[in-house]
A = this chain, B = another copy of it.
Amino acid sequence: MTYKLQTNPRKSASQERSRSTVDALIEATTRILIKEGYDRASTNRIAEVAGVSIGSLYQYFPSKEALVAAVIDRHTQQISAVTRNALVKAAARPIEDAAREFVSVAIDAHRINPKLHGVLAEQIPRVGRLENIEANVREGYALVRAYLEAHRDEIDVADLDLTAFVLVTVVEALTHAAVLRRPDLLADEKAGRFVDDVTRLILGYLRKQ
């Protein structure tokens, strides 16, 4: 086990044939991560599941980390597409609507691929290339902060930075935990109550007394 931190693709696939090889590899990595976790996701096994030779794997990915990074990228992009969109839309809305929207979209985001999300959340720190995740989190913060700033008059903010931190942390933690550990709280009729409750939590915190 040599630890190389290189995570960039070795060569970029130009023909259709190779592009599908790359796809199969990322797909297989995702499946194995979900079903068996990071430790069992050996490059040999990934290649086997992808129906591709180990040699081909290393033609496109210089290391196991690179493969995982690719999986992370894909997932992160899906999440950020959803969330950014919603945050931008909510920018002009009053806090009652925006808060509710914020909570809803956080749930949606966690529902994109809950199992993968869980595995990644537990193991990302060990993979290089966190930059994308980091960049995304920062973007989320920035959007929330910008919202708070724009709606300063409706809100009780002593410290913008702290408030943004609290909001993002709280909503992320609650939706993450609900989707991954307490799916019963989000089943059918109950889901509404959960959203109501979290929204109330946020509004109680933001609103002027």
Known contacts A122-B126, A204-B205; is A174 also within 8 Å of B185 by CB? Answer: no
- Verify A201–B166 contact, CB threshold 8 A: yes
Known contacts A126-B39, A174-B169; is A159 also within 8 Å of B198 by CB? Answer: no
* Total number of A residues with any Cβ neighbor in B under 8 Å: 30
Query: What residues of chain B lie closer than 8 Å to A197, measured between beta carbons?
Result: 158-159, 162-163, 166
Q: How many copies does the complex hold?
A: 2
Shortest CB distance A182–B (Å): 6
Query: What residues of chain B lie closer than 8 Å to A177, measured between beta carbons?
Result: 165, 169
Task: Indicate with 1 or 0, residue by residue over A167-193, a CB within 8 angstroms of chain B CB atoms.
Answer: 001101110011000100100000001
Query: What residues of chain B lie closer than 8 Å to A166, measured between beta carbons?
Result: 174, 197-198, 201
Give bound CA distance, A185 to B159, whole Å. Answer: 11
- Verify A173–B169 contact, CB threshold 8 A: yes
Query: What residues of chain B lie closer than 8 Å to A201, measured between beta carbons?
Result: 166, 170, 201, 204-205
- Verify B159–A193 contact, CB threshold 8 A: yes
Q: Please, which residue of chain B has its CB at the minimum distance from the CB of A125?
A: B122
CB of A58 within 8 A of chain B?
Answer: no
Give bound CA distance, A87 to B23, whole Å. Answer: 51
CB of A200 within 8 A of chain B?
Answer: yes
Give bound CA distance, A123 to B192, whole Å. Answer: 33
CB of A62 within 8 A of chain B?
Answer: no
Can you pick out 6 interface pairs between chain A and chain B where the beta carbons lie within 8 Å of each other? A38-B126, A122-B122, A158-B197, A162-B193, A163-B197, A201-B201
